[in-house]
Amino acid sequence: MKTSLLAGAALLASTFAGHALAQQQAPDPSKPLGFFVTSEGVGKGADLGGLAGADAHCQKLASAAGAGSRTWHAYLSTQAADGKPAVNARDRIGKGPWFNARGVLVARDVAHLHGDSLEAAQLGNNLSRNTVLTEKNEPVKGAGDKPNEHDILTGSTPDGRAFADAADRTCKNYTSSAPDGSAQLGHFDRTGGGNTSWNSAHPSRGCGQQNLVSTGGAGLLYCFAAN
């Protein structure tokens, strides 16, 4: 009898715990998904089909995760070329705030994301290995994992703007998968390479898929809801 009572109590406690966990993990409509790292790359290295192709990739993955009603843009800067002006990543992603798939705030606004003000610089945004998740609410492989995929394509300076020099920092504005060329990368886990920048850690070793893999990435992108 005592054994049965104990077993029943344990089952009841487990049931309540399960309900509590479900309540904690239930989506909060006031904190909709607004930021993720893509669970997969386009598959052609840094040739994303330009900004339009990168945005479409973000939109497709967001739609599969049930967040397709929002407008999604890839966090990418482009350089001036062919008579077209440069585009800054920070100008493409809306005003915020942005929450991850678990409803955790990663940044209040563009200034908080980039540390524009003294307060923002001191507090810092909330992008870290624990908060940067895919649209599937899954962690991204970082330094120490196999394979390491912490390099995220951005083509951006630390303040989220396009590079103004003549060097190619965007793999020809995300249209090249050649073994040469380069694109600027960020470290989502803020680890490795002597640079902990989430958006401007170092350049890639080329633009092909294998070049990105050898550098420590997989052609992944940051995606932000712009509305």
Q: Which domains are assigned to the chain?
A: 29-225 (3.10.100.10)
For residue 141 the two structure tokens come to: 């492989």
| Residue-level pLDDT at 121 | 56
Asked if 8 contacts 194 with a C-beta cutoff of 8 angstroms, the reply is no
More confident residue, 116 or 9: 116
| Residue-level pLDDT at 195 | 80
Task: For residue 119, give the H/E element and its range.
Answer: helix 118-123
Percentage of the chain exceeding pLDDT 70 = 85
Average pLDDT of every residue of the chain: 88
| Residue-level pLDDT at 196 | 86
| Residue-level pLDDT at 22 | 36
Q: Is the pLDDT of residue 26 over 60?
A: no
Task: Kindly list the distances between the CA atom of residue 169 and the CA atoms of 85, 102, 153, 184, 200, in Å, as whole numbers in the listed order.
Answer: 15, 33, 10, 5, 11
With b meaning 16 or more CB within 10 Å and e meaning fewer, what string describes 123-158? eebbbebebbbbbeeeebbbeeeeebbbbbbbbbbb
| Residue-level pLDDT at 155 | 98
| Backbone phi, psi, residue 33, to 5° | -55, 125
| Residue-level pLDDT at 30 | 83
**For the residues of 51-113, what is the DSSP string, one character each?**
HHHHHHHHHHHHHHTT-TTS-EEE---B--BTTBPPB-GGGSS-S--EE-TTS-EEESSHHHH
Q: Is the pLDDT of residue 2 over 70?
A: no
* pLDDT digit string, tens, across residues 157-214: 999 999 999 999 999 999 999 999 999 999 999 998 678 899 999 999 999 999 999 9
Cα 164 from Cα 214, distance rounded (Å) = 27
- Rounded to 5°, the CA angle 131-136-142 comes to 50
Q: Is the pLDDT of residue 4 over 50?
A: no
* pLDDT digit string, tens, across residues 54-100: 999 999 999 999 999 999 999 999 999 999 999 999 999 999 999 99
Asked if 204 contacts 211 with a C-beta cutoff of 8 angstroms, the reply is yes
User: pLDDT band for position 118 (50/70/90)?
Assistant: low
Summarize the confidence of residues 148-152 as an average pLDDT.
97
User: pLDDT band for position 142 (50/70/90)?
Assistant: very high
User: pLDDT band for position 11 (50/70/90)?
Assistant: very low
